Amino acid sequence: MNAPPAGGTAARGPRLSNLQLRLLTAATGLPVVVAVTWVGGWTFALVAAVVAFFGTVEFAHGWLMPTTRVRTAFSHSLSLGASGVMVAGTHGDKQFVFAGLVLAAVLAAAGFAPTRRLGPRKPLRVHAGALLYLGLLISTFVLVRDAEDGRTWFFLGVLSTFAVDTGAYAVGRAIGRHKLAPRISPHKTWEGAVGGYAAGAGAVFGLSALFDTGLSAATIAPFALAMPVVSQVGDLFESWMKRRMGVKDASGLLPGHGGFLDRLDSLLLVLPLLYVFLRLRVL
């Protein structure tokens, strides 16, 4: 066998397929999520803050510099780090949520002001949006986990959201014909949406019984009936954002899955809904 030419490189091995990357990332990430949720406390809050930070980096990248590599958005990391502080601080004092909302209002006011004395206005608006979309909404992840029986409720929220996604995908692939929102997400169908709704609602009732939450079907029904709709709205909203940004995936930070925003889309609305439900009907 002839040796490779001088200065050459040996042939690279076969690259992993997208499915293999998805499975590898899931196999690595899911045990971490389960362990962190099980432990709770500051461990959960700090990991949620890290997720919020990377999510806000993707958010800034998409709205401000979508044609560059996502790492360029880290130049905004100090200002975007406010979302992570808001999320982690919520575990110690809920006033961090209020402080984050005040900061978002100040940034939004400066971003929409008719003067440019404070610098370019769009970054200020984006930072305000990051505080609301990621800082505020991910703070509810911490609030749910910190609630009484929070571990159970957090798992219920996450698993029922996964059920919506799985049901919508399975039914859409099997019998989907009528497009749900072709300009936003061309592969989603009304049939898939109905399948996702049924799977999600059924999952809430089933998980409530399996986890022995102590709630009657009538008590948990408002969340069970609203959650699948909110989940799919969150998915569509994130798809709409990516189209406005002009990107296919939020980033490549999670190999095979896109970015953090791609994985959080539905949860960003479901967990706040769950927290409101708990405050009104359970706690």
What single-letter DSSP state applies at residue 73?
G
- CA 101, CA 129: separation in Å to the nearest integer? 10
Chain-wide mean pLDDT for the chain? 86
- CA 145, CA 40: separation in Å to the nearest integer? 7
Is 72 in contact with 61 (CB distance < 8 Å)?
Answer: yes
Residue 232: exposed, middle, or buried by beta-carbon count in 10 A (0-12, 13-18, 19+)?
buried
Query: Does pLDDT of 1 surpass 50?
Result: no
Residue 47 token pair: 């990991």
Which tens digit of pLDDT belongs to each residue from 160-170?
999 999 999 89
Pick from 112-116, 197-201, 271-275: least confident: 112-116
Label residue 220 left, alpha or beta by phi (over 0 means left) and psi (-120 to 50 means alpha). Answer: alpha
Query: Does pLDDT of 8 surpass 50?
Result: no
Phi, psi dihedral angles at 40 (to 5 degrees): 70, -155
Say what the pLDDT of residue 187 is: 87
pTM for this prediction: 0.88
Beta strands in 105-216 (DSSP E): 179-181, 185-189
Q: CB count, 10 Å around CB of 25?
A: 16
- CA 139, CA 87: separation in Å to the nearest integer? 5
- CA 144, CA 247: separation in Å to the nearest integer? 32
Say what the pLDDT of residue 90 is: 96
Look up tokens 């992570």; give the residue: 84
- CA 207, CA 217: separation in Å to the nearest integer? 11
Exposure letters 263-275 (e unless 16+ CB within 10 A, then b): bbbbbbbbbbbbb
Q: Roughly how many angstroms between the first and final C-alpha of the chain, as a whole number?
A: 74
Q: Which among 198, 196, 195, 178 has a CA at the least distance from the CA of 187?
A: 178
Query: Does pLDDT of 74 surpass 90?
Result: no
Which tens digit of pLDDT belongs to each residue from 115-125?
777 667 888 99
Over residues 204-213, mean pLDDT: 96
State percent of the chain over pLDDT 70.
84
Pick from 60-69, 82-91, 160-169, 264-273: least confident: 60-69
Phi, psi dihedral angles at 186 (to 5 degrees): -65, -15
Say what the pLDDT of residue 26 is: 60
Which tens digit of pLDDT belongs to each residue from 36-62?
999 999 999 999 999 999 999 889 888
Is 234 in contact with 263 (CB distance < 8 Å)?
Answer: no
Say what the pLDDT of residue 9 is: 47
Say what the pLDDT of residue 69 is: 79
The alpha carbon dihedral of 138, 143, 146, 147 has a sign of negative
